[in-house]
Amino acid sequence: MLIEELNSHFAKPVLSAVSDGKSFDEKMAELCEECEPKLWGETYPKFIPRVCEKKLGDGKQLIWFQTCDQRPYWWWVLIDSETNVRSDDFDPLEIYDLIEDEFGAIPDEGDEDYDEEVHSDVLDCYPMIVHNDGIAWGKQELFRNSR
For residue 24, what pLDDT is reported? 85
Beta strands in the chain (DSSP E): 15-17, 38-39, 42-43, 50-51, 61-67, 75-79, 105-106, 129-130, 135-140, 143-145
- pTM, whole model, 2 decimals? 0.80
Q: Would the pLDDT of 101 be above 70?
A: yes
Give the mean pLDDT of the chain.
Answer: 84
Residue-number span of the structural domain to which 94 is assigned: 16-145
Which range, of 18-32, 38-52, 78-92, 133-147, averages the lowest pLDDT? Answer: 133-147
Q: What share of the chain is helix, strand, coil (3-state, %, to 5)?
A: 20, 25, 55
- The closest of 64, 37, 38, 60 to 50, measured between CA atoms, is 64
The count of structural domains within the chain is 1
The answer to whether residue 68 sits within a structural domain is: yes
The answer to whether residue 6 sits within a structural domain is: no
The answer to whether residue 100 sits within a structural domain is: yes
* Helix H or strand E encompassing 4: helix 3-10
The answer to whether residue 118 sits within a structural domain is: yes
The answer to whether residue 46 sits within a structural domain is: yes
The answer to whether residue 9 sits within a structural domain is: no
For residue 23, what pLDDT is reported? 85
The answer to whether residue 10 sits within a structural domain is: no
The answer to whether residue 2 sits within a structural domain is: no
